[in-house]
Amino acid sequence: MTDTLPPAIAPSSVALRTVSRAGTGDWLLLVVTGAQLDPVIDQLAENMRAFGGQVSTTDASGRSIQEVIDSIAASAPGTVLLVHGLDGLTDEEWHHIDLLRSRLIGAGTIVLVVSLVTAGRISRSAPNLSSWIGGAMWTLDPGADSLSDAERNERLKALRRWSKLTDEEVVRRAEAGSLPDDPEYTEWLVLLDRADLVAPEIG
């Protein structure tokens, strides 16, 4: 591990990799930068469950090393445990965890969700744990499963060329109920954040 960011990965991709290898003793490390952690953890867990994974999460904030180790050791083989709240641990504490690593053998698939600083600490102070992680470390890109602004603009340009309409005309016609019914217009309205013009009144 280094102090540079590992390769970026989408939530769906990390979910598939995690669930497809769920067994015993698999360790993955996800670096999260510049994002609120709670929605990221929820997003990861939801993606993993959608692929059929049995997922639980644990927040290690404010807990002792012993408690953190106990919670990881208690995760059942074949399940995935997302561990976050580890950024308060010092180099010495990671070294301590490394020394107690035999207690972690036999756990399920463990995903450590940490900052880049913590990834560096693990690399420096927990070399054996690092070897368990190996190359299974990425930087999570929470928005990678959605369109980027550039991709969204390219699609809108293609739709305008195809229809010879402007965004404003499409919205106006949708509001008036005179928009053609082709599926491309649904995509257009969603891209314009006008889902209210495509969603039916259900129920």
Partner 1 sequence: MQRLALPASAKTLASDVRRCLLVAADEGVLRTPPESIFRLLKTEERTAERGTIVVAMLGGATFDKGQSEDAFFIRSDGARLSFGVAVAYQRGAEPELLTYRFHLRFARNGSPAFIRLDLNDESRDPLMEPRSHLHPGSDGLRLPVPVMTPLEILERLLYGTPTPQ
Selected binder of partner 1 within 65, 100, 116, 198 (CB under 8 A): 198
CA angle at 156 for the pair 150 and 160, rounded to the nearest 5°: 145
Among 10, 37, 65, 100, indicate the residue that binds partner 1 (CB under 8 A): 10
Looking only at the bridges linking them, the beta strands covering 80-84 and 109-114 are: parallel
Residue-wise burial string across 31-46, b where 16 or more C-beta atoms lie within 10 A, e elsewhere: bbeeeebeebbebbbe
SS3 2: coil
Tokens 């890109």 label which residue?
141
Binding status of residue 149 toward partner 1 by CB under 8 A: no
Is residue 69 within 8 Å of residue 100, measured between CB atoms?
yes
Q: Is 42 in the site for partner 1 (CB under 8 A)?
A: no
- Asked if 105 interacts with partner 1 (CB under 8 A), we say no
Q: Which two tokens stand for residue 163?
A: 């229809």
CA-to-CA distance for 132 and 79, rounded, in angstroms? Answer: 17
Q: Which of 23, 128, 158, 169 binds partner 1 (CB under 8 A)?
A: 158
- Residue 190 in contact with partner 1, rule: CB under 8 A: yes
Q: Would you say 89 or 140 has its CB closer to partner 1?
A: 140
191 in contact with partner 1 (CB under 8 A) = yes
Of 30-38, 85-93, 96-104, 173-181, the window that binds partner 1 (rule: CB under 8 A) is 173-181
Selected binder of partner 1 within 95, 96, 101, 155 (CB under 8 A):
155
The angle, 0 to 180 degrees and rounded to 10, between the axes of the packed helices 149-163 and 167-176 is 70
Q: How many residues bind partner 1 (CB under 8 A)?
A: 39
Residue 187 interacting with partner 1 (CB under 8 A): yes
Exactly one of 35, 74, 105, 147 binds partner 1 (CB under 8 A); which one? 147
Rounded CA separation 92/201 (Å): 58
The answer to whether the CB of 122 falls within 8 A of the CB of 29 is yes
Find the part of the chain contacting partner 1 (CB under 8 A) among 11-19, 29-37, 73-81, 93-101.
Answer: 11-19
Residues in contact with partner 1 by CB under 8 A are 10, 12-13, 15-16, 46-47, 49-51, 144-147, 151, 155, 158-159, 162, 177, 179, 181-187, 190-191, 193, 195-196, 198-203
